[in-house]
A and B are shown apart, each in its own frame.
Chain A
C-alpha cells in the first residue's frame, strides 16, 4: 500500500509574541505566539531543513521531490530543482512545484500517490513550506507563522497508508495575493469563513465518509484546516464533533498558521503520538479542498525521530516586533555606509553548483587533505587533480575562531563570522546564524544550514551558514 514513509519538520527558532505585536499598535492580541523566519530564511531554505530531516529518516532512496508553497522565492523558476540540488538528489529525480493554493501540500501529496501507484516513482518527498506576510497591523500578521513540513510518500516501510481521497474545487476570493502585493489579502471574515472554509470542509467530510462507507466512530482523529483557532473550534462544533479528543488541534497558538504547511504540521503532530491501526480523516482547504483517509501501520512504532515538534518548541528565542519588521523588510532602513556588493554571476554559480548547493569540497587522494572550496592543487602536498568529492553539508563541526563584525552590510549588526572545523577534517569560514554575539564561543558545536545570503540583480543568492548544533 502507498502511504507516508517518513516525515520531517522545520520551524525557525524565532518567536514573536502576539502581545508584542498588540503592544506596538495598541490593538487586541490574539494570544500565544508565532514563528518567524530569520531574514536569511525563506520558504526554500526552510523546505531544505524539513526535507533533510525527512530524508534522514527514509529507508528508501528518494526519486521525487515536490515543493508546495504560496511563497516560492521566484515567480518564474522551479524551487524543487534548487532544493533537490541542495539535497544532492540524483539528476533523474522528478521535481515539481505545486504553488499558489493554500492546499498545495495535499494537491502535491495526491500527485505523489498517483505517481507511485502508477509505478513511475518509488519514494517522493512532498515538502510544504511557507513564509507568508500579513499586512502590518492586520490580524493575519498575528496569525501567520513560518515553517515547513516534509512527508515522504512511498510503498515500503509505510507508517501510515493512504486509503482513499476525495477532492473538490471551488471558486471564491477568500484569501489571495496579486503579483505586485507582498501582503495576503482577504475578504470580510464572516463571508470567507461560512461560504468558504465551512462549506468545503463539510462537503469533503460527508463525501469521503460516504465514498468509503465510514462512520465517525471508526475515526481516531479528524484533522482539518481552519484559518484560525476560533474558526477551527466553530467548525468542529458545526461538524458535530463533541469529543474534543477526536479533533487534532492546530498548533496556531505556538507557531502560527504556516500556510501550506499548516495542515501537514497537524498531521505530523498526530503521527508523533499515533499507535498502529489508527484511522484518520484529513481535510485540507484552499480553492476547494482535498480529503484523505489514512491508517497507521505497525511500522509507526519503529519510527523514532530526534527532531520532533517538542524539540522545536524547546529551542525558541523571542524577538521584538521591530526586529520582525526589519527581517521582513517592512520598514525602510538607512543604507549601510559600506560598499554595496555586486550581483552574483549566474555562470559562476552554475560552474560551482556542486560546491555551492550540495556543499561539496574535495579530498586529496594522495595525502587526505580535505579542501573547501574544492581545489585542483592540494594545499598540503601540491599534487594536481588527484581528488575525490567530499560532501560537507551533513558534517558536524566546532567553532575554532570567530569575528563579531560591526562594520558589515548585513541586515543585522554585528554579523558573526566563524571558522568551522569539521569533526572528520576540513574547514570552512562562513556566517554563523541563529546565534547572538553573547552566545558565540570557541569550541561551540555547530551544524551547517542552507540560507539566503540576499538578493541582488533579481537573483536570490543561497549558500550555507553554520548554526549552533540542534540535536
Chain B
C-alpha cells in the first residue's frame, strides 16, 4: 500500500526565536536551528546523509545550506513551494529515508524577511511564473488583500454582518496571542483584546492590522530517520503519519462559481491526510493542530475546510472556545503565524516543532493533556489556486 504512515520518525528538532533578528544572518539562523536539532537527536553534522533546505527568498541553491553548515559532499537540495516550503523540505527528507536511500536526513527551513526594508512580504507571484521575463500585466495583490476576498465571500455566503464578522475574527487573533504570550520563542508575546484588534488600522478591508500575521525572521530544522531505527536515538521519537501536499489547477480564477468561502486545496489535502493516517473523526482523534493563520479569516475557514466545524458553523465553535488551549481541539498552541510571523520557508517546520514538543510532553505551560496525534497545515499560493499541505504526526508507532 502506498502510504508513508509510521515509516519515518523525527528524532530531533530545533527552532530559533522568531522576530526582528537584526543581529542574525540567514546563515546564523540555519546554524542555530540545525544545531539545536542535532543536539536534540544526539547526532553530529557528519552523521547527516542527505539534506533539504526550504526557503522562498533567502537562498537559491543547496549551497545556501551546505556552505554555512559545512556539509561535506552529501546530496543537498533546495526546495520552494511558497508557504508550504518548510513542510516541502521535511517531505523530501522523510521520503528519502522511507525509500531507503539514506538513514539520517536533515530538513531546514529559513527565511529572513526583515532585511528588505519593505512593509509586508513581496506580492505573490501566484502562478509562480518565471521572474526572468514577464509581460507585466499580472495583477499585483498583497497577501492580506488576497485573503480579504475570503472574508468578503464567507461573510456574504453565511450572512454574517461585518461587525459580527470582525469580532469573530478578532477572537481568533486574541486566542493566538494568548497562546503566544506563553512562548519565549514567539515574535509577539503579548496578550491582545478584541477591542485592540477592531481599533487597529485597515490593511485590506475588512482585515485590520491585528488580523494579519507579522513579518519576521526565523528558522527551524528537523532530523529524521527510519521508524525502526528511531528508538536507537531517543525514547520518544515522533512518527510521521501522513504528509499531504495538494495543488490545484488554478480553477477558481479561470471559471465562475467559486464561493470565496473555502479553499478547495485545503479540503482535498485534509481528505488525503486523514486517509493516509487512518483518521476518521479528526475533531475527536486529533489532539492539537497548528494551522496557517496568516490572516484570521483563513483560520476560520480552515476550521471548516479541515472538517472540524460543519460548513457555516465555525462561528459556533469560535464562540464555544473549541479551539482554545483548553478546548476540544487546541489550535495554534504556540501562538501561530499570528505571534511567530511568517518567515515563509521556516513556518512549516516551526509548526512541526510545536507539535513535536507537545507530543513529547515538553510544551511547558502550554502543554496539551495526553496528546496522541498532532496536525500541521499550510497554504501557499492563492486562496483561489493554492498549495495546501498537511503533516500529521503521532507519539505512538501504530
Interface residues of A (CB under 8 A from B): 336-339, 341-345, 347-349, 351-352, 356, 369, 371-372, 375, 379-380, 400-409, 414-415, 417, 419, 421, 425-427, 429-431, 437, 442, 453, 456, 459, 461, 463
Contact = CB atoms under 8 A, between A and B. Distances in A.
In this complex, the interface size class of chain B, counting residues with CB under 8 Å from chain A, is 35 or more
Contacts of B162: none
Contacts of A417: 139, 141, 145
B136 A379 contact: no
Interface string B149-191: 1001100100000000000000000000000000000000000
Given A344-B135, A407-B142, A409-B140, A401 B116 contact: no
A371 B250 CA distance: 11
A461 B122 CA distance: 21
A442 B152 contact: yes
A408 B255 CA distance: 26
Contact of A341 (B117, B132, B140): B140
17 contacts: A342-B131, A344-B134, A344-B136, A356-B137, A379-B250, A402-B152, A403-B148, A403-B205, A406-B204, A407-B119, A408-B142, A409-B140, A417-B141, A426-B256, A429-B139, A429-B253, A456-B136
B141 A403 contact: yes
A427 B140 CA distance: 17
B254 A371 contact: yes
Contacts of A430: 139
Contacts of B202: 404, 406
Nearest to A380: B255
Given A405-B144, A463-B137, 4 more contacts: A339-B122, A351-B135, A405-B142, A414-B204
Contacts of A409: 140
Contacts of A425: 256
A407 B204 contact: yes
A403 B120 contact: no
Given A404-B204, A405-B141, A337 B118 contact: yes
Secondary structure at the B interface, as helix, strand, loop or mixed, is: loop
B130 to A, nearest CB: 9
B198 interface: no
Contacts of A339: 116, 118, 122-123
Contact of B118 (A338, A343, A369, A426): A338
A375 B385 CA distance: 15
Closest 4 CB pairs of A and B: A344-B136, A405-B145, A345-B133, A407-B142
Contacts of A406: 142, 145, 202-204
B135 A352 contact: yes
Given A369-B255, A427-B254, A401 B133 contact: no
Contacts of B149: 401-403, 419
A414 B122 CA distance: 17
A286 B116 CA distance: 52
Given A369-B255, A427-B254, A404 B145 contact: yes
A427 B148 CA distance: 19
A404 B148 contact: yes
Interface in B114-129: 116-120, 122-123
Contacts of B260: 400-401
A379 B255 CA distance: 8
B251 interface: yes
A348 B133 contact: yes
B249 interface: yes
Interface in B93-130: 116-120, 122-123
Nearest to A463: B137
A352 to B, nearest CB: 5
B63 interface: no
Contacts of B141: 403, 405, 417
Contacts of A342: 131, 134, 136
A408 B120 CA distance: 10
B21 interface: no
Contacts of B156: 442
Given A338-B118, A338-B123, A349 B136 contact: yes
Contacts of B205: 403-404, 414, 437
B4 interface: no
B146 interface: yes
A409 B141 CA distance: 10
Contacts of A407: 119-120, 142, 144-145, 203-204
Nearest to A427: B256
A417 B156 CA distance: 18
Nearest to B209: A406
Contacts of B137: 344, 352, 356, 453, 461, 463
Nearest to A426: B256
A6 B202 CA distance: 48
Contact of A338 (B120, B134, B203, B251): B120
Contact of A403 (B118, B136, B145, B253): B145
Contacts of B117: 337
Q: For B120, B146, B256, which residue has the most chain A Cβ atoms within 10 angstroms?
A: B256
A442 B260 CA distance: 12
Contact of B133 (A341, A347, A402): A347
A7 to B, nearest CB: 31
Given A421-B256, A429-B139, A430-B139, A405 B120 contact: no
Contacts of B131: 342
B119 A375 contact: no
A338 to B, nearest CB: 6
A349 B135 contact: yes
Contacts of A348: 133-136
A215 to B, nearest CB: 57
A402 B140 CA distance: 13
Given A404-B148, A437-B205, A356 B139 contact: no
B135 to A, nearest CB: 4
Nearest to A437: B205
Contacts of B139: 417, 429-431
B255 A337 contact: no
Interface string B226-260: 00000000000000000000000111011110001
A373 to B, nearest CB: 9
Contacts of B152: 401-403, 442
B114 to A, nearest CB: 12
A323 B326 CA distance: 52
Nearest to B141: A417
B295 to A, nearest CB: 12
B202 to A, nearest CB: 6
Interface in B200-230: 202-205
B73 to A, nearest CB: 36
Contacts of A456: 136
Contacts of A442: 152, 156
Contacts of B203: 406-407
Q: For B131, B132, B204, which residue has the most chain A Cβ atoms within 10 angstroms?
A: B204
Q: For A338, A344, A349, A352, which residue has the most chain B Cβ atoms within 10 angstroms?
A: A338
A249 to B, nearest CB: 41
Nearest to A371: B254
Q: For B136, B149, B205, which residue has the most chain A Cβ atoms within 10 angstroms?
A: B136
Contact of A401 (B132, B153, B204, B254): B153
B383 to A, nearest CB: 10
A419 B253 contact: yes
A18 B49 CA distance: 75
